[in-house]
Chain A
Amino acid sequence: MRFWRRQHNSLSSTSLVSAKGGESLLTPIASIWLTLTLALAVAPHANELPIWLTPAFFVIAGWRAFIAIRKQPLPPRWALLTLALLATAGVLVSYRTLFGRDPGVALMTAMAACKLLETRGLRDGVALVFLGYLLVMSNLLYSQEIPMVAYLLGVVTLMLVSQMVIHRQHAGLTALAPLRLAGKMVLAAIPVMLVLFVLFPRIPGPLWGLPKDAYKGRTGLSGEMEPGTISQLIQSGEVAFRVRFTGDMPSSKQLYWRGPVLWSFDGRRWRQREELPSKTPYPLTPEGPVLDYAVLMEPNNRRWLLALDLPASLPPSAGMTRSFQVLREQPVNEVYRYAMRSYLQYRTGQLTASERFLGLQLPPQSNSRARELAEEWRARDPRPAALVGKALSLFREQPFSYTLNPPLLGFHSVDEFLFRTRKGFCEHYASAFVFLMRAAGVPARVITGYQGGERNELGEYLIVRQSDAHAWAEVWLEEQGWTRIDPTAAVSPNRIQQGIYAALADTDTLPFLARRGGDYEWLRRLALNWDALNIQWNEWVLAYGPDRQKEFLSGLGFGAVDWREMTIAMVVTLSGLGAIFIILRWRSRQLPDPVARAWQQFCDRLARRGLARGSHEGPLDFSERVVAQHPELAGPVRDIARLYAALRYGPVISPPAVRRLQRQVRRFHIRHH
């Protein structure tokens, strides 16, 4: 620190003073550093920015670097003003607004480019660095995954270097010394970061209101279903959620992850209905063992939480609807971890009047052929179980096929599917089945969610991807209550037993990660290992919210802690860290140079073996005393003492000799007898 302050002082007294205010100008190398780090901070945004902005930014950055190298004048004020106005107008045209995440980031990037073009002096440079830090943070609005965080950490380190370079202000400098210092600063910040991360009291939801568009573009169940909804979703390899089971993992065919329950049908599209969640789980009669597990859900900007059929517990700040759907109070916009309990075998309670009404409702004047078929079945045998069997055997016996690319369907989608195309995906089967049941007088509903998942041997957990999305049906039977019927299983049993990859002939349209076997199996293995690392990151970093924090701290033996205690603990720990830092600092000031440090290390090492140097004992006297007691150490001890004495008290300190001393001290070991 000391030596560049000196540099700076000496410079500000020389000719590098600008006309106004005596502020020192940035050197070309400082301008280049600034431009480079800013470009690195913007780079991850390249895909999200408006199509004109990304090239414009990098052209301007390149221009600025060129100006710095060729020592040319910066563009005049009026040009900058025009540019700034143009950029604002451009953002406004691209987004129709200046507010929100995307326009905000775009505006910031544009302004950073303009600022680059007017950056002359130290103050502009500092302002630009801080704008750079803001740009770094803005990247976290888009991705919080490990590679991004690692990249941003690197960019922050380089920004520290730019800060040093612009303050140091001299040309022809090597980046190595400031880089080392910046690395040290980042490392020194890590303990503080950890303390703040663990102990800073978390509040539910984001700390400040993020713009609404911050969560757009996330794939997942939509809460509605029409032909094509799920077969489109299934093409995404993105992870929907990951699950850790407390006991053994159930077999794949039992894994029905319950999502939105769809009641109302307009002939083509299925929708949810408004249901008020209850703070207690709806009762069910278990008929099998209980299953405990924890779900790590990826953000999807939706309120529903996925749970195995049927959930019997609720995470904090979540409720359950009468349709056994778990809903959170606010959308899942961060990786969210919750513990759940489910029964795979169960019986539900009574059917309410409104459920009976809604469960039989059908749009008038639509899909009349299907309606006629159902009424015909009913006339023959009105028992619900028989009607279910009829419908399933229809799918099984007629030439129905399971495909990802079904023909398009019109308004009477059920009729067209049942009697004409007969090619469909799970949503077609679920939709047609529920329609038939309702038409035949059996209360029924569509359930959307996920089915199965991929087991990651490494780390023993289940990965459920968007490609595992599924839709099935529930019918109400007098004996069992709501009963799950999966019509897809009648057409393609493989889908349920082995997963989507086994059920489709044309697997090439499936996302790479949902496929099994083949030439690239090793690559998929690698991806699974990476995923195992990601689940740790998600569990411990991204999902570390208020619930997880309380859980973690009480797990450490602090009992139930509230935010006041956390704050106190945080302040105490940070003060402790500060004290340690001051002591280290003080000690290093006591031992200002590497020679003294190496000698101290050597003396400490001997002191641990009972050979403490007297405070007034000179190096040669000390070494002779050590040698008298340990003649076998004569060689190294005398060498080190002589070298130290020469370096400490001699007229010249040669760096190679200092390194030799350090090396010898490092190698010096006392064998235990």
Chain B
Amino acid sequence: MATLEDQLEFTIQEVGTTILGKERAIRLALACLLARGHLLIEDLPGMGKTTLAHALARCLGLQYQRIQFTSDLLPADILGAAVYERQKETFVFHPGPIFAQLILADEINRATPKTQSALLEAMEEGQVTIEGESRELPKPFFVIATQNPAYQIGTFPLPESQLDRFLMRIELGYPDVQAERMLLEGEDRREVLARLAISMAPAQLHEAQAKVAGVHAAPPLLDYVQALLAFSRQSNRFRGGLSPRAGLGLLRAARAWALLHRRGHVLPEDVQTVLPAVVGHRLHPGDDNLEQSSAALVEQLLNAVALPA
């Protein structure tokens, strides 16, 4: 009988067969899912963002919806709308694509802020309100949004407040030489995707999410997390420190990461590993630190805070 941890490991292997050489990104994505957070993948087109989302959905047996964001997409296109049905003489709600367990919001920064915020509100609340009526979204509800880097033409970059809604932001990056070669030699990704085995039942995923909350965080570890938060708030290298939500998210992500590594307690290494993904998009350079990339900012934070003795 395979344990939950074994199944999670198997999921990572399975997803890894479609998107080669990106185990770390897959793990982070899975950790994000286990921590009940949402994932933002920021990368150039064609890097496998869609494939990753699709593969995860398949392996975990989740309902999957892909929403291509465009500049003319309206909120109702996502959420759904009440349509008048003549036979019944009533308005009947037609759910939009958001009523699925795993949503891929592709190129979210191409939509207008109004549409973006409709999605983000749904992400935050776990429900949508249409015509004064609240409707529950399915569970689990996991959004993977992708975003082209902001310098591309015709985009509406997500504002800082909206970025905070994503637990993690990751980049996939180019595959390394070996992985690229396998990709070129191998079969069509779509066929591989179609063959993927379902590695976990939704109930097990739910169990895993519950288990994440039970991963032990010892006082010295909480000290460390607090020290990180405090430093981000006090140092003038950053403009505006990390929010309490960021702190909660960091701990949750670290717990999920520890669970993926079959550990019942969180280590500082777990925090440090998820730190770039969790706080990279929430840290903003201070006035005398403007030139720094977000990766460099995270590095500064990491190096500046010592582990409490």
Are A615 and B269 closer than 8 Å at their CB atoms? Answer: no
Smallest CB separation, A455 vs chain B (Å)? 61
**In A619-657, which residues have CB < 8 Å from any B CB?**
619-621, 645-646, 648-651
**In B257-309, which residues have CB < 8 Å from any A CB?**
264-269, 272, 302-307, 309
- Nearest B-chain residue to A596, judged by Cβ: B309
Smallest CB separation, B103 vs chain A (Å)? 35
Query: Which one of A616, A620, A649 lies within 8 Å of B266 (CB-CB)?
Result: A649
Query: Which one of A591, A616, A645, A650 lies within 8 Å of B305 (CB-CB)?
Result: A616
Are B309 and A621 closer than 8 Å at their CB atoms? Answer: no
Does B216 reach chain A (CB closer than 8 Å)? yes
Does B218 reach chain A (CB closer than 8 Å)? yes
Smallest CB separation, A592 vs chain B (Å)? 8
Does A506 reach chain B (CB closer than 8 Å)? no
- Nearest A-chain residue to B272, judged by Cβ: A618
Are A645 and B307 closer than 8 Å at their CB atoms? Answer: no
Smallest CB separation, A586 vs chain B (Å)? 12
Give the interface residue-count category, chain B. 10 to 19
| Chain A interface mostly | helix
Query: Which one of B264, B272, B303 lies within 8 Å of A651 (CB-CB)?
Result: B264
The residues of A that contact B265 with a CB separation of less than 8 Å are: 646, 649-651
Q: Mark A597-631, 1 if CB is under 8 A from B, else 0.
A: 00010000000000000111111110000000000
The residues of A that contact B221 with a CB separation of less than 8 Å are: 649
Are A600 and B218 closer than 8 Å at their CB atoms? Answer: no
Are B305 and A651 closer than 8 Å at their CB atoms? Answer: no
Are B305 and A649 closer than 8 Å at their CB atoms? Answer: no
The residues of A that contact B302 with a CB separation of less than 8 Å are: 616
Distance A408 CA – B278 CA, assembled complex (angstroms): 110
Does A590 reach chain B (CB closer than 8 Å)? yes
Are B306 and A600 closer than 8 Å at their CB atoms? Answer: no
- Nearest B-chain residue to A650, judged by Cβ: B265
Are B303 and A650 closer than 8 Å at their CB atoms? Answer: no
Distance A131 CA – B269 CA, assembled complex (angstroms): 58
**Number of residues from A at the complex interface, CB < 8 A:** 18
Are B309 and A618 closer than 8 Å at their CB atoms? Answer: no
Are A649 and B309 closer than 8 Å at their CB atoms? Answer: no
* Known contacts A615-B307, A616-B302, A616-B306; A650 and B268 CB within 8 A of each other: no
Are A648 and B306 closer than 8 Å at their CB atoms? Answer: no
The residues of A that contact B218 with a CB separation of less than 8 Å are: 648-651
Smallest CB separation, A500 vs chain B (Å)? 70
The residues of B that contact A615 with a CB separation of less than 8 Å are: 306-307
Distance A46 CA – B207 CA, assembled complex (angstroms): 77
Q: Mark B81-124, 1 if CB is under 8 A from A, else 0.
A: 00000000000000000000000000000000000000000000
Query: Which one of A600, A616, A649, A651 lies within 8 Å of B267 (CB-CB)?
Result: A649
Are A591 and B272 closer than 8 Å at their CB atoms? Answer: no
Does B220 reach chain A (CB closer than 8 Å)? yes
Are A650 and B216 closer than 8 Å at their CB atoms? Answer: yes
Distance A109 CA – B40 CA, assembled complex (angstroms): 84
Are B306 and A620 closer than 8 Å at their CB atoms? Answer: no
Distance A616 CA – B265 CA, assembled complex (angstroms): 18
Are B307 and A621 closer than 8 Å at their CB atoms? Answer: no
Among B217, B220, B266, B304, the one with the most A-chain Cβ atoms within 10 Å of its Cβ is B220
The residues of A that contact B216 with a CB separation of less than 8 Å are: 649-651
- Nearest B-chain residue to A648, judged by Cβ: B220
Distance A445 CA – B83 CA, assembled complex (angstroms): 144
The residues of B that contact A614 with a CB separation of less than 8 Å are: 303
* Known contacts A616-B272, A621-B269; A649 and B307 CB within 8 A of each other: no
Distance A563 CA – B239 CA, assembled complex (angstroms): 63
Smallest CB separation, B269 vs chain A (Å)? 4
Are A617 and B264 closer than 8 Å at their CB atoms? Answer: no
Distance A650 CA – B309 CA, assembled complex (angstroms): 15
Smallest CB separation, B217 vs chain A (Å)? 8
Are A620 and B305 closer than 8 Å at their CB atoms? Answer: no
Query: Which one of A616, A621, A648, A650 lies within 8 Å of B264 (CB-CB)?
Result: A650
Distance A79 CA – B70 CA, assembled complex (angstroms): 104
Smallest CB separation, A106 vs chain B (Å)? 57
Smallest CB separation, B171 vs chain A (Å)? 22
The residues of B that contact A650 with a CB separation of less than 8 Å are: 216, 218, 264-265
Smallest CB separation, A208 vs chain B (Å)? 50
Among B220, B266, B303, B309, the one with the most A-chain Cβ atoms within 10 Å of its Cβ is B309
The residues of B that contact A590 with a CB separation of less than 8 Å are: 309
The 27 listed contacts between A and B (C-beta, < 8 Å) are: A591-B309, A596-B309, A615-B306, A616-B304, A616-B305, A616-B307, A617-B307, A618-B272, A618-B307, A619-B267, A619-B268, A620-B267, A621-B269, A621-B272, A645-B267, A646-B265, A648-B218, A648-B220, A649-B217, A649-B221, A649-B268, A650-B216, A650-B264, A650-B265, A651-B216, A651-B218, A651-B265
Nearest 7 A-B pairs (CB), nearest first? A615-B306, A618-B268, A618-B269, A651-B216, A649-B218, A650-B265, A649-B265
